[in-house]
Structure 1
Amino acid sequence: MVQRFGINASPDQLIEAKNAATQDYLANQAFPLMPSVREAIVYFHSAGLKLAVVTGASANGVQKTLQANGFEDKFSTIVSNDDVRDSKPAPECYLLALQRLGVAADECLAIEDTQHGLEAAFRAGISCLALPTEMSKQQNFHSATAVLSGMAEAVEYIRHVYGLGSSSAPRYCR
């Protein structure tokens, strides 16, 4: 970002500023959920899927958001930026989630909203649905299994393509 936008600061200074701003934000509130995420989590969990959070965010931010939304018991594992040396687009975060879940990549389906997240899942061998946001819509999602408009469409896609409840349904979902 320093080079791309000609910012008069070092990368370390930007990281420190971002971390401080995130801590200030989380002191007063949790991260907001994308539209239809609440319903999707409840639906996938009640359908018997094991859910994992695999994020480039800090563990503190994830925990605060899960607690604020009453989701602490909905996820089998959480892998945050604090758990890995190399964050997305490196596959390390997804590989750690696979290890913790004790499953193979072909038993999983990732849902990502950025190119870096998609690349991390793809490099770990996990199929991935892309849900571009206003901020990420210009990014490259060519390696996605499907590019969808949002979480509600992703739920419908998974219901129809994977037939939740059938033997071909993914057992784990991010």
Structure 2
Amino acid sequence: MSSPTDGPAEPDEHRRYACHLRALATVGADDEPTLVNEILQDPDQAMAQSAVARHIEDRARLLLTDERFPGWVHTMTGVIGERDFLTRRLTEWTLLAAIAQDKPWAPGQVTAASDWFQRKAVEILTSPDALALLAGQGRTRRVRAAAGQRLRQQGHQHLTT
């Protein structure tokens, strides 16, 4: 029996979310698709997709400039299926990886991308071309200012349009 000073119990979905994050943080590459699939079977889809989105961010950051990135994206695409939010996030990480790896990308992809993408790009990319584009045409004042600041920190000048 709990005492009145214990406070309310943590909701079950909060415990499952924390458990999912712990499992995802330590999963090996071979077991990752199975674990992600299992988590996505959770009845609380918002919580499950949130845990997987966080994992995608953590893993994508680690693999961003790694030659294994495309294979990982292909595998994850098959696992997440038709879940729009997760598909969009994986697509945006793929664009971030292309820019980080100095592979072809189009300015329109960057300017049309989500606010999340533009903020993340300013945070992690070092490409003067991408940062200059965001400094001049980023969707929000915050993105434009941060991109301009990153360029100045890197010793680059930019023209705002």
Structure holding more strand per residue:
1
Structure holding more helix per residue:
2
Bigger relative contact order, structure 1 or 2 (CA pairs below 8 A, ≥6 apart) = 1
